[in-house]
Structure 1
Amino acid sequence: MSLNFRIFSAYFVVLALAIYLLFNAFMSEIKPGYRQSTEEALVDMANLVAELITEDFIGNNQHSISPNIQDSISRLGQRAYQADIFNTQKSYSKLRIYITDKQGIVRYDSSGKDIGADYSQWNDVYLTLRGQYGARSTKADPNDDLSSVMHVAAPIYHQQQIIGVVTVAKPNIAVQPFIDKVRAKLKNQGIWLIVMSFVLALALAYGLTHSIRKLVNYANNVAQGKRLSPPKLAEKELSKLADAMENMRQQLEGKEYVEQYIHTLTHELKSPISAIKGASEIISADMKSADLTRFIQNIQSETNRINNLVNKLLELASLEKQQSLTQLSKINLNQLLDKVVESKQYALESKSISIQTTYSQPTVIQADKLLISQAVDNLLQNAIDFSPQQSRIKLQLSHINDKQISIQVEDQGSGIPHYALDKIFNRFYSLPRPSTGQKSSGLGLCFVQQIAELHQGQFFINNTQNQGAIAQLILPTQQN
């Protein structure tokens, strides 16, 4: 199971459970809340009716109320309403009003069914006659929870004495439509909250693992030999981990780097050292002047070869250790290429090589001017070394798109042998120059490749379709 899925699942389950518990608790309070509000209104209604009928109740020996008040209550039951309460229509009254004397005998009942009945044991009447708050909720059908009716009573006073009780009753089913609508609305909102929680959980899981994915990509790119800086992460702990990974990479790379270079350098130095040693052993005081001169020249040549190799190696080592560019500036590539070509005029003229430059348009890029000059110098020198007498070299500058430019150097030499195509970027690997048979340090193309990578570009070299080789350096116009 992936970390992304685990984070998502944990967060979503916790959030969904919290929402469920909150809504469950809230919805369980809806019905009691509505009924409490209804009871509060019935308390006022019962006391109002008690005050309105007190005079009639006292003046009537039968402890009843006048026909006028009875007619008014009857008309209330028949009255048609046009009330729109929270999109719920109320069209008639569902109130029942009954009055009992101080013995609890029903003297008036708006429903007309229980006149004369003994209600003295019902809580609403029983408690009120004893000076307490009287209320009850009774099911009309014992098997139906929705059939309950709320009864709220108020005392009828005469000379500080309770002489009767007025009870106002209302079916709880009257508020059920409001309860159902609120529950339905809450359910819909709950579903939306669950959906939003799902989306939020996905976003959170993606956000938390985004930094981890950056670290994974960084580790994979380093494993492929790519030159990258550690990612910048917002999380302090993961940022420390990225720095630790970078430090580990540098330590391991440094050890491997030293071992590889020592091994390769030792191998490359064997040949010139052996030549110098052999020449020095042969030289003697009685040697002919011509032979002495030849051996001394041989020693000087091999010494220069060692010096050149070491200098090139130091330059490449310094470049490979550089993680990013620090000397960026806007440079005019057209002018830079012209200066490099001008510096190679002597080498070109010595082999009667002509050079054809093609620039599509004035090109300005953001780069390290010195490194780009060295890269183009290496490519042009390589082309000169492998070009035959009286041949031609093409130097072309063109735009690939709005973000990339291409520098191509094409010669008319013999091209790269098939067996060497996959080795030309190896350090110290060099092909013999056609004119002299000598090899170079084998570090020039590695140098160009490192410059391309530092500039977030690419470097390719291949044979042309006819004859010769073509090197292409692709660079971005702006550095990230």
Structure 2
Amino acid sequence: MRIGLRLLLGFFLILGLALFVVLSVFVQEVKPGTRQAMEDSLVDAAYTLARIAAPDMKAGIIATGGFAQALSDLSEVNPQASIWGFRKERIDYRITVTDAQGMVRFDTRPEAIGQDFSRWNDVSRALRGEYGARSSPANPYAPDTATVMHVAAPIRDGDRIIGALSVSRPNDRLEPYIERSQQRILRWSWALLGLSLAIGLLFSWWIAHSLSRLRGYANAVARGDRVAMPVLGRLSGSTEFSELAQSLEQMRLRLEDKAYVESYVHTLTHELKSPLAAIRGAAELLQEDLPPDDRRRFAGHIHRQAERLRLLVDKLLELAHIEQMRGLAARETVDLSALTRELLQRMEPGLRIKALRVHDDLGQAVQVQGDAFLIGQGLQNLLDNAMDFSPPGGQIWLRLHRDGEYVEWSVRDEGPGIPDYALDRIFERFYSLPRGEGQDKGSGLGLCLVREVCDLHGGQLVIGNAIPPPGCEARWRLPI
């Protein structure tokens, strides 16, 4: 079974089951809910009329008094009302008054006068001061006939109950309203089900179509065919399918870009081979009988090359660790001004050796949220580059200021700047420019590390030649 059909069936099954449960519960609740609403209105009417009938009941004129006269022609009243499309042309209430023994003393339908109603649940409970209600057949001798709801309220003389007043209404008067409600619920439910089915069809087709195109693209790549990345259309937008297609395309480009892999391996091998060859040559010379000065010179050469190897390995480990991070585990407040000055203190010996002057325009307590250690690593690499490429006796300018929702940290030196041919390659691994007379070549990993740290913090890194020349300027923008 194809995935589109499985998705559609699963969607329709879940929707149909949910709709069936909701619809069943809703329809089943319509009739009880309507009757409960009617019972509530009967309670109000019964207790209101019981208060009105109380004076005539105390005076013993409940059958002939004002209460009886006001209700004598109740069955003949025509309200001429239109309720939800249904005409109402008579009053459906029946009002019965019994004395304290349950004998009927007044009835809007006189046939019950003189009968004993004390056995009925509504009257007997009302005479005991309790809430009394019942629903019973309109004809006690024909249980299958329509039912009538009765609600009784006690008639009081102070604290003494002297009678009960019952208000009753046939339940079948509610059937037109209940039936119309159920029909409308069912009609809208079928419409909703049809609309949901159409949406499900469209949604399933879209997923199946997108997956089918991605599968075809992946199969073509697996066969070694050179195919273009599938365009999933406007409906896909920037959804996960488009992102998956782009990821597959990037993976294909990386897998096919053998020249890049070969260049990476070749450069790494060269970077390791050069210091190892220098160490090996100096070690072989030290095995010979040399003057003390030459021995010290070659030993120092071995030490410098070993330090270069150590720095290269350390940088590789740092870069690998940062590249594997998918985000910052925790953020803290980082004072860029204080952190930069702390790094400058560590660099003071190197600055003194080259007689470099640092112009501090860092301000006070400029803060961002991030990883203090990683930001420090990034700043340290940028400061090291500025110091290494600066000529002896040169100047370095440091500036820190807020720019909208960002803080911009910048460093500028008076070095030779970046050659035009190298501007597009400064972030490549192991790509390094000559640093100055008497200095070893760098690892070519420092700016890669800075860029990775910048991306983790959602920042922006721009490095280029200073304007006006000479020199190079690095600007690092971090969100506040």
Q: TM-score scaled to structure 2, two decimals?
A: 0.50
Structure of higher CA gyration radius: 1
Q: TM-score scaled to structure 1, two decimals?
A: 0.50
